[in-house]
Structure 1
């Protein structure tokens, strides 16, 4: 049996610039961190040569062409893994629609575990590239590239998406005190709403490729990713909330489906209670909301928002093998 553990991620600034219709023209950049919530994937040899999958549902089939789970099927095809295996997956957070990159974390973790099962090592760079191949190229998901790299590499990074389709992951170098103050200042809530990001991302892809105003908004969000990186390097934590706020206002302008009356209400309540800035995590319309504020204001913010608070910490490690027994 082999077990992989892959972190989820929290994206702060620049989300949306990792979509190919935008970054291939202008380049993109995202500031994000892995968090201490994980997707676990186990793979074990199956005696009868078939395939058994256990996720939100159970599949037991005789051959790969009978598998319904698109990401598993595409990963097996890519790795030329025919069958004779049992895959089980569990997650610390609901597996879809929460804005924490869970689908990509699952795909990275599956590739990590399956390649180890085949007796080969795969670097964070290769896991990221292979995960993008599975999700975007083979399965046709209308998503960007940030989640795969955040899950594979871990840590607090500036992830840059170049016009030639290359991706560069650079750890954000900052004083230890600054990182701790950032972590202490983040407060996160679960909206209770899960949603598919596909239709939002499809619309965002369309407008980012055609609308000058939307392109300008995304280009400013990319600038803000670099500004935030530099401010953190200089130990200027207070400006982080202001950057988050500007980034959220820009993101809301991209499509009407990113926010709604309820989300706007929660956001305004948090700002009025002392938050310096915040955002909805992921593509929009549901999932988790995060805010940045002085920790002394957190209790007041929680009362004002009235949602379930969930504590996250930054995770320095990316996808890794927790248990390895290939026999």
Structure 2
């Protein structure tokens, strides 16, 4: 952004955006630059009904910046803003004072659902409304990617920014030059209900930092490129199974994906996670996988039959699960 933005002329009292988190449905990780720059990435991803809400408001009586996330800070200088995501997103848009930013989230961070990217998309959605810039969803995703990956230098791919902005179920492709295209995958309503019911999200109880896991994958690059070739093929094969609602087939493919993913880096799993996955399969699932980079977060387990019994047994083992639905709105303004 070339020119400083003056927000004095905007009369909104406040703006609230609602931005969905996501689950990866096939080919996850092929959007990481060390792979996509060589081979091109292709994956299927879906937005879900868990959200990051961002409130953005002009401060009419002073020049201070107030940030409320897990902590609260009031400062006179943008340089002193401690939350680096808020600081650098405001800086990108040349908003230097008289602003209040708050965030609220329905789930913890560091659990593999794209939380940091979703936060950035939500801030940009609010700012675009505040400054009356009618950015489309692809533009917002691209700006979020620039801020997170180029400016903040947070390792990762393109999946999280684009699906949280677009919503729905998307086939995302990233070319060797970094160009991103998105095509919505349309699925019949009755099959959508089956997917939402039979793909069970079980919380592992472990949190992790994705950057550590992504960095570890670069050590055996030649070997890992070949593994991601196979993961990309699994993603391509997942599309037909999703459209047909083939839960058993999806479970077997996810199991194949998980076995391949374990070969990428030791940090992806540990004894506890391996034991948990084994237990969850024995309860009545042909397979599943950890959503996101690995190391913790949610297992998504395919359960073809008797979901109620499966969930009851999950609870008996002491694990928590999360009911979910697909979100088809993407990042949206719910109040201004």
> Does residue 233 in structure 1 map to residue 247 in structure 2?
no
Match of 2:178 among 153, 165, 184: 165
Moved more, 38-47 or 303-312: 303-312
Find the residue that maps to 1:9 and give its secondary structure. strand
8 A Cα contact 1:36 1:313, kept in partner: yes
> Does residue 281 in structure 1 map to residue 295 in structure 2?
no
After superposition, what is the alpha-carbon deviation per residue over 1:263-315, rounded to whole angstroms, capped at 9, x for unaligned? 11111111112112111111111111110112404523552553111111111
Find the residue that maps to 1:88 and give its secondary structure. strand
Match of 1:82 among 96, 100, 122: 96
8 A Cα contact 1:178 1:237, kept in partner: no
> Does residue 65 in structure 1 map to residue 79 in structure 2?
yes
The Cα of 1:234 is off from its aligned counterpart by 4.4
Match of 1:252 among 262, 265, 279: 262
8 A Cα contact 1:269 1:301, kept in partner: no
Structure-2-length-normalised TM-score: 0.91
> Does residue 293 in structure 1 map to residue 303 in structure 2?
yes
> Does residue 310 in structure 1 map to residue 310 in structure 2?
no
Output the CA distance in 2 between the equivalents of 1:185 and 1:246. Answer: 18
After superposition, what is the alpha-carbon deviation per residue over 1:136-187, rounded to whole angstroms, capped at 9, x for unaligned? 1000101111000010000011111111201111111333332221111011
After superposition, what is the alpha-carbon deviation per residue over 1:229-275, rounded to whole angstroms, capped at 9, x for unaligned? 12333454431111111111111111011011111111111111211
Match of 1:126 among 124, 135, 139: 139
The equivalent residue for 1:55 is: 69
The Cα of 1:63 is off from its aligned counterpart by 1.5
The equivalent residue for 2:8 is: none
Task: Point out where structure 2 has 5 or more consecutive residues left out of the alignment.
Answer: 1-13
Output the CA distance in 2 between the equivalents of 1:231 and 1:188. Answer: 19
Output the CA distance in 1 between the equivalents of 2:271 and 2:182. Answer: 36
Structure-1-length-normalised TM-score: 0.94
Output the CA distance in 2 between the equivalents of 1:74 and 1:316. Answer: 29
Output the CA distance in 2 between the equivalents of 1:5 and 1:291. Answer: 27
The equivalent residue for 1:42 is: 55
Query: Root-mean-square deviation (CA), in Å?
Result: 1.5
8 A Cα contact 2:44 2:239, kept in partner: yes
Task: Pick closer, same or farther for the CA change 1:143–1:301 going to 2, 3 Å.
Answer: same
